[in-house]
């Protein structure tokens, strides 16, 4: 289904979304000043925003925007890997407890694994230039639904993570919930 919002509105959405995610990531990551941990929320909020932007561009359709969708998704995955590495090494170098123990860590790790599979699926199976299964409707639908599942899970992971460093209602529930609801609305409706 073609996008219900125009190309111009998508560019504007992309800009606002990106700026907001940088500010949110910085505010969550610098509660105790700039440190290695800062890169975890910063890169992950920006990556989530980039994935949503990639999905919105895909909705416009056409070869040009499908390629942009793939490139932005690849960039998003690199940021996720950077953000997860930051928290991993932050724990290693600061002699913190062992890895992947909390619900947040388990959700984050699982989402990261699914993300890698989804990117490979896009790159190998349904890439518009060389994907052998690019016209297969079932695989395309599975890609779309898995992508949406990842985005909802990432918003939940941001909220979970934010609660750890900023438990207040406005600084977490509102600051994360409002953009997440807006992103979900655009993703499922537009």
Among residues 162, 175, 180, 186, the one that binds ligand HEM under rule CB under 6 A? 162
DSSP 41-68: HHHHHHHHHHHHHHHHHHHH-SHHHHHH
Among residues 6, 113, 164, 185, the one that binds ligand HEM under rule CB under 6 A? 164
Give me the count of residues in the chain.
190
Cβ 158 to ligand HEM shortest distance, Å: 4
List phi, psi (to 5°) of 31.
-60, -35
Question: Which lies closer to ligand HEM via its Cβ, residue 126 or residue 157?
Answer: 157
55 touches ligand HEM by CB under 6 A: no
Residues paired with residue 31 on neighbouring β-strands, in sequence order: 33
134 touches ligand HEM by CB under 6 A: no
79 touches ligand HEM by CB under 6 A: no
The whole-angstrom separation of Cα 42 and Cα 127 is: 29
175 touches ligand HEM by CB under 6 A: no
Q: Compose the 92-111 pattern: x for residues touching ligand HEM by CB under 6 A, - for all others.
A: -------xx-x-xx--xx-x
C-alpha dihedral sign at 102, 144, 15, 170: negative
Is residue 100 classed exposed, middle or buried when 0-12, 13-18 and 19+ CB atoms within 10 A define those classes? exposed
Binding site for ligand HEM (CB under 6 A): 28, 40-41, 44-45, 48, 84, 87-88, 91, 99-100, 102, 104-105, 108-109, 111, 154, 157-158, 161-162, 164-165
């Amino acid at each position: 289904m073609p996008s219900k919002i125009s190309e111009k509105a998508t560019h504007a959405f992309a800009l606002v979304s990106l700026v907001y995610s940088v500010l949110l990531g910085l505010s969550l990551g610098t509660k105790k000043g700039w440190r290695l941990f800062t890169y975890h929320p910063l890169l992950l909020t920006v990556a989530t925003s980039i994935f949503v932007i990639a999905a919105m561009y895909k909705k416009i359709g056409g070869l040009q925007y499908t390629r942009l969708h793939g490139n932005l998704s690849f960039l998003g995955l690199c940021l996720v890997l950077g953000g997860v590495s930051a928290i991993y090494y932050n724990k290693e170098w600061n002699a913190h407890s062992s890895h992947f123990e909390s619900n947040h860590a388990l959700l984050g790790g699982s989402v990261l694994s699914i993300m890698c599979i989804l990117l490979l699926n896009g790159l190998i199976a349904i890439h518009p230039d060389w994907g052998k299964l690019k016209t297969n409707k079932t695989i395309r639908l599975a890609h779309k639904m898995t992508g949406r599942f990842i985005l909802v899970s990432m918003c939940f992971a941001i909220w979970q993570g934010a609660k750890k460093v900023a438990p207040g209602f406005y600084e977490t529930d509102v600051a994360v919930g409002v953009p997440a609801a807006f992103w979900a609305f655009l993703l499922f409706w537009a």
